[in-house]
Amino acid sequence: MNKYGRQLCTGLWTGLLCALSALAQMEAIYASGSSAPSSPVYSAEREMSLEDCIGMALANNLDYRIERITREEAALEIDVALGAYDPALSLRAQRSNEKTLGDSPGVADGVLETVRSKTESDSYTAALGGATSLGGLRYDLSGRMGNSSGHRAANPFDTTTGSLGLTLTQPLLKGFKTDGARYRVAAARKQSEEAAVQLENRLQSVLSQVESAWYALIQARESIAVQEDAVRLAVQLYEDTARKVRIGSMSRLDEKQAESQAASAQADLSAARQSYVEAQNHLKALVFADHRSARNVELRTLGDLSVQQVPVDAVAAGEEALLFRPDLREAKLALERQGLSVDYQRNQRLPALDVIGSYGVAASDEDTYGHAIDRMDSADEPFWTVGVALTFPLGNRAARNQHKQSLATAERMALQYRQLEERALVEVENAAAAVLTGWERILATRDAREYAEQALEAEEQKLNSGRSTSFVVLQLQRALTQARQAEIAARAEYNRQLSSLALATGTMLARHGVEVEYE
């Protein structure tokens, strides 16, 4: 064999070794790419359905738990406001001592007589008073017992007295229709209703987030499967190309292009796995209260991205939104609460006209407390009073301007409510249109994927018969992978669009069969 023959054999041998080395690398890539969509950091698996995730989110989601506590605080505020009607009991005991020394006219004209007196008194008083919601009526029930003893001008005395009476005060103008206590109670009840709607709003938001994260995780899982298949196709094409290069039917350029495609597919597979890990963490953050306890757990979704067309009526969906959306109901309750403020401030402008009446019995005795009480039972010494008190504020600028402020606030809130309704209708129409176009996108991406599969199959047959090039096949492989990913994304997005429509119409709870019981 001459020198050129030996060089040719050496070159062929070297090329064969390089091809075998590259083939081993591609096989290693394929082996790593064909694993399940899991990460080495996961040491345990947990299969969960969408209903399981929603149930755990309702029990563990921190945003929802915070909103529940806020709702409880608002409910307790009603009891705080009702405390204005709790009666007040006051008890009082007192002892006094008085001495006098003075002159007074005597029994004869012009004669002064020295009068000395000393009095020691004990008194005990109990009173029970408070307000009612009956037109602002106030009541005061009081009882008193006392004893006075001593002497006047050397004449001793010892007297026991007692009284029991009830005083009622009824406002006729200011404080009759509404007063501070009734306004605070009514406002607290409205705020409690608002807090309940806020809790429902937060719940619907959490459900929407969980559902979106659920579909994103399935999408990431299926994307890994698509990328694994892309790696398999790329490696298979590389193997075929390398074999044909060895027998001289294809060029080294074809081999390098196939090798590049395999490496690119492996890079895309790594990116898909990273997206899968991020989707795992997103869903875990929504359904677990402690991320550290679920860090090494892989959530296995029980389901796929199968879809069915859902008919949508944008007009009917808009009407549902006006009835069921929590943010609209909350705004309406806030407007009603502002109406309570307007009524209260209007009442505060009026003068105070109160009717006051009291009735009671009294008794006195020279003996003991018991005898005085017996005489009160017989009601031998009744007393009563009736009167009217009028208080007319001069100027009354503070009340008049506070009323004007409350009217302006109510007008602003009414406009904001209308604005919120308009935005809700637009949002619903956009969500309904997205659902309709989303289904069209599913059909289009499904057709595109089928056409890409058929085109690749036909081109591979042409390549095997020598009527095509590996470059064209590589392009069609990439097109098929993109078409599969687009179909997966379309199906995932359609499910999310249905969820967004339910959130826009306020029917997310009905969509998942969730009922909320407010304590």
Q: How confident is the model at residue 213 (pLDDT cuts 50, 70, 90)?
A: very high
Q: Is 403 within the bounds of a domain? A: no
C-beta of residue 328 within 8 angstroms of C-beta of residue 322: yes
**What's the confidence (pLDDT) of residue 256?**
86
Q: Is 289 within the bounds of a domain? A: yes
Model confidence over 119-155: pLDDT tens digits?
Answer: 888 888 999 999 999 999 999 999 888 877 777 766 7
* 30 and 163 within one domain: no
How many domains is the chain partitioned into structurally? 2
SS3 readout for 250-302: CCHHHHHHHHHHHHHHHHHHHHHHHHHHHHHHHHHHHHCCCCHHHCCEEEEEC
Model confidence over 75-90: pLDDT tens digits?
Answer: 999 999 999 999 999 9
Q: Is 405 within the bounds of a domain? A: no
Q: How confident is the model at residue 419 (pLDDT cuts 50, 70, 90)?
A: very high
Backbone angles phi, psi at 364, to 5 degrees: -145, 150
DSSP-assigned beta bridge partners for residue 142: 127, 165
Calpha distance 161→372 (Å, rounded)? 6
Q: Is 35 within the bounds of a domain? A: yes
Q: Is 5 within the bounds of a domain? A: no
C-beta of residue 125 within 8 angstroms of C-beta of residue 161: no
DSSP-assigned beta bridge partners for residue 364: 161
**What's the confidence (pLDDT) of residue 4?**
38
* 164 and 43 within one domain: no
C-beta of residue 101 within 8 angstroms of C-beta of residue 93: no
* 359 and 276 within one domain: no
Give CA 168 to chain center in angstroms: 46
* 238 and 99 within one domain: no
* 468 and 371 within one domain: no
Q: Which structural domain range is residue 469 located in?
A: 16-77+187-337+411-512
